[in-house]
């Protein structure tokens, strides 16, 4: 019986959890929206500091691991060269971890900060400061701390996969050294369900943002009205596309889409850089890098504690942005970690850590630096009032209108929309694949059942459909913030499990090495003795 292969408890509990979230929201949309807003406030207000501390802690932990003995461990045989060349590796890493949201936020994030700046700045009286931060903060939210969150699960997963040679798919497996036999009980299943819950939350945020963007672009190109019907159709079409890719399988479908993704992205970025305000883009991006380096700690720990004082106004900036972002990266991290592990054969742990943090951040810097500063340039030169469109018609309209300012605007909007679809597909074909793998008992190299992959592809779109219907940016952000909460603790356990196991393994190796040296020395001494005796007897003769 094929259905015996399914891990029914994990499968059913996950599905019930998602229905338990979606159904009440559909039946009571108003009470649902109010509840979601409340949940967002409680989580991000009360526990915001926890997300921020986690981000910084993961960053330093990984830097420590990279330069410690544990970081020197090679994933695979000692002499083995990396399976993928570094550019191919960096490209795949980027396409797996980044979806259409980079087109969305890369182009428009600055406009939110332009109106609601950080550090209590005033949009009007501190205008120059505000503009600088507007073009910078997005790069920070998609920078080294964010990529460290992605890299953390990749480290133990690749360690267990290549060094301990266990084909790991589940988080509960990564925690086996801590959980021992509990990995196979409800405790292990609960951890896997929390991972699924988190990924569905993150996917909810991504799709509920990406769909209106695509639908706005389609409306712009075709003249259709941009309404809920068009959005629902767009979401279904996109889902069918990534369901097909997940059905076809990891290797061919996903690799091809990922190459297409990179090619088109490079084209879009070069086009905007060359036809847009080249020098302005280069200068503002360079300036932002310096600003981040100078203010790294301030940005990563800014929790706005003094809003309790009278006369100090709370902006809500950290909760609405940095906390939300860390949570959003967190919910994707186990899934991306697994993918990074898969493509990292032949690299060292240090290369995986530094590579993800450096290449990932550079990739995001290019999008934010080029697309974002192009929009910012239109705004501050008065060429086009992006902020007005954002406030009157919403972010998707503002983004498409920025693209519309480029030469060959129709073609560029079409490319932008197409690229958004491909970006979504490259993230969600592998997400459905991973969700299917987690809810199934897989033997080595086995693929999850096709119906299971299809099932998760369509389940992924239930939450975004509901969120789109409820509307509001805060609602979409809540999905990630809530989904990410349990993962804060799981990340801590993952890091602990890795340190415990790898350090123990290294110690065995250290004891082993001196022994081999002694053995070798003995050998050499014996050989020398034998040689000497032979010589003596020859001499006598
Ligand atoms: N992250 C990178 O929506 C997407 O593009 C997928 C989003 C976590 C902010 C990932």
With tokens 């701390």, the residue in question is 145
Q: Which atom of ligand 1 is nearest to the CA of 325?
A: 9
- 156 CA from centroid of ligand 1 (Å): 22
**pLDDT reading at 150 higher than 90:** yes
Contact predicate 357/144, CB 8 Å: yes
Task: List, in sequence order, the alpha helices (H) in 249-383.
Answer: 255-275, 278-301, 317, 324-343, 349-367, 373-380
Residue positions counted in the chain: 541
Mutate which of 199, 327, 329 to test ligand 1's pocket (most atoms within 8 Å of Cβ)?
Answer: 329
Q: How far apart are CA 295 and CA 272, in angstroms?
A: 29
Structure tokens at 161: 């996969």
Reduced to 3 states (helix: H, G, I; strand: E, B; else coil), residue 348 is strand
Q: Nearest CA to 235 among 202, 200, 204?
A: 204
Average pLDDT over residues 405-420: 96
Q: How far apart are CA 433 and CA 531, in angstroms?
A: 64
Mutate which of 146, 204, 328, 421 to test ligand 1's pocket (most atoms within 8 Å of Cβ)?
Answer: 328
What pLDDT was estimated at residue 152?
A: 96
CA separation (Å) from 147 to 67, 98, 113? 17, 11, 22
Contact predicate 317/118, CB 8 Å: yes
Q: Which atom of ligand 1 is nearest to the CA of 209?
A: 3
What pLDDT was estimated at residue 445?
A: 64
Q: Which atom of ligand 1 is nearest to the CA of 210?
A: 3
**Residue 10 CB contacts under 8 Å (≥ 6 apart), including other chains:** 189, 192, 193, 196, 438, 439
Which residue's CA is the closest to the ligand 1 atom numbered 6? 99
CA quadruple 470, 476, 477, 480: dihedral positive or negative?
positive
Domain extents for the chain? Answer: 2-150+181-482
- HSE-up of residue 267 (Cα within 13 Å, Cβ side): 12
- 496 CA from centroid of ligand 1 (Å): 26
Average pLDDT over residues 91-117: 93
Q: For residue 6, what are the β-bridge partners?
A: 440
> Does domain 2-150+181-482 correspond to CATH entry 1.10.3470?
no
- 418 CA from centroid of ligand 1 (Å): 18
DSSP assignments along 452-518, one per residue: HHHHHHHHHTHHHHHHHHH--HHHHHHHHHHHHHHHHHHHHHHHHHHHHHHHHHHHHHHHHHHHHHH
Q: Which has more confidence, 516 or 167?
A: 167
| Alpha-carbon Rg for the chain in angstroms | 26
**pLDDT confidence band for 120 (50 / 70 / 90):** confident
With tokens 């119906």, the residue in question is 451
Q: Nearest CA to 401 among 220, 227, 212, 231?
A: 220
Q: How far apart are CA 488 and CA 494, in angstroms?
A: 10
Q: What is the pLDDT of residues 323-340, one digit of tens each?
A: 999 999 999 999 899 888
**pLDDT confidence band for 401 (50 / 70 / 90):** very high
Q: How far apart are CA 277 and CA 280, in angstroms?
A: 5
Within 6 Å (CB) of ligand 1, which residues are found? 97-102, 206, 328-329, 332, 427
Reduced to 3 states (helix: H, G, I; strand: E, B; else coil), residue 6 is strand
Q: What is the pLDDT of residues 190-235, one digit of tens each?
A: 898 888 888 988 988 999 999 999 999 999 999 999 999 999 999 9
Mutate which of 145, 336, 427, 431 to test ligand 1's pocket (most atoms within 8 Å of Cβ)?
Answer: 427
What pLDDT was estimated at residue 531?
A: 54
Which residue's CA is the closest to the ligand 1 atom numbered 10? 98
Q: What is the pLDDT of residues 53-65, one digit of tens each?
A: 999 999 999 999 9
DSSP assignments along 408-439, one per residue: THHHHHHHHHHHHHHHHHHHHHHHHHHHHHHT
Contact predicate 260/478, CB 8 Å: no
Average pLDDT over residues 501-524: 54
Reduced to 3 states (helix: H, G, I; strand: E, B; else coil), residue 148 is helix
Q: What is the widest separation between alpha-carbon atoms in the chain?
A: 108
Which residue's CA is the closest to the ligand 1 atom numbered 8? 329
- 99 CA from centroid of ligand 1 (Å): 5
pTM: 0.90
Mutate which of 55, 95, 102, 427 to test ligand 1's pocket (most atoms within 8 Å of Cβ)?
Answer: 102
């Amino acid at each position: 019986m094929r259905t015996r292969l399914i891990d029914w408890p994990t499968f059913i509990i996950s599905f019930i959890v998602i229905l338990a979230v979606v159904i009440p929201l559909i039946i009571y949309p108003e009470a649902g929206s109010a509840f979601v807003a409340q949940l967002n406030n409680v989580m991000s207000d009360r526990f915001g500091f926890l997300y921020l501390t986690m981000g910084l802690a993961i960053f330093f932990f990984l830097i420590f691991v990279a330069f410690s003995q544990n970081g020197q461990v090679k994933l695979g045989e000692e002499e083995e060269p990396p399976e993928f060349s570094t550019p191919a590796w960096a490209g795949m890493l980027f396409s797996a971890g980044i979806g259409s949201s980079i087109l969305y936020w890369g182009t428009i994030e600055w406009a939110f900060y332009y109106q609601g700046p950080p550090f209590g700045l005033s949009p009007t009286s501190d205008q120059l400061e505000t503009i600088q931060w507007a073009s910078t903060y997005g790069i920070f939210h998609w920078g080294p701390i964010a990529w460290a969150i992605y890299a953390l699960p990749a480290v133990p997963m690749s360690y267990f996969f290549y060094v301990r040679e266990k084909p790991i798919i589940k988080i509960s497996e990564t925690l086996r050294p801590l959980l021992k036999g509990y990995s196979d009980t409800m405790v292990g299943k609960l951890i896997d369900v929390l991972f699924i819950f988190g990924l569905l939350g993150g996917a909810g945020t991504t799709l509920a943002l990406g769909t209106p963007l695509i639908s706005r672009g389609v409306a712009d190109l075709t003249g259709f009205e941009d309404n809920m019907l068009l959005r629902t159709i767009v979401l279904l079409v996109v889902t069918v596309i990534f369901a097909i890719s997940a059905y076809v399988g990891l290797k061919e479908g996903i690799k091809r889409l990922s190459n297409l993704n990179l090619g088109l992205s490079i084209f879009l970025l070069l086009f905007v850089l060359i036809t847009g305000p080249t020098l302005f883009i280069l200068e503002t991006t360079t300036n932002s890098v310096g600003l981040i380096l100078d203010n790294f700690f301030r940005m990563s720990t800014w929790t706005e504690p003094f809003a309790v004082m009278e006369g100090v106004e709370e902006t809500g900036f950290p909760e609405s942005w940095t906390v939300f972002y860390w949570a959003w990266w967190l919910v994707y991290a186990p899934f991306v970690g697994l993918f990074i592990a898969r493509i990292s054969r032949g690299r060292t742990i240090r290369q995986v850590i530094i590579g993800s943090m450096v290449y990932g951040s550079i990739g995001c810097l290019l999008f934010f630096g080029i697309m974002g500063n192009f929009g910012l340039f239109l705004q501050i030169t008065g060429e086009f009032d992006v902020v007005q469109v954002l406030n009157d018609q919403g972010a998707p309209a503002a983004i498409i209108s920025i693209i519309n300012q480029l030469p060959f605007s129709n073609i560029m909007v079409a490319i932008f929309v197409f690229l958004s679809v491909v970006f979504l597909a490259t993230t969600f074909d592998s997400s459905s694949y991973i969700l299917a793998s987690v809810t199934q008992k897989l033997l080595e190299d086995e693929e999850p059942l096709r119906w299971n992959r299809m099932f998760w592809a369509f389940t992924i779109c239930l939450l975004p459909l509901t969120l789109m219907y409820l509307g509001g940016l805060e609602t979409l952000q809540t999905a990630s913030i809530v989904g990410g909460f349990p993962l804060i603790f799981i990340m801590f356990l993952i890091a602990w499990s890795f340190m415990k196991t790898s350090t123990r393994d290294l110690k065995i190796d250290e004891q082993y090495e001196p022994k081999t040296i002694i053995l070798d020395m003995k050998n050499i001494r014996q050989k020398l003795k034998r040689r000497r005796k032979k010589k003596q007897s020859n001499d006598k003769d």
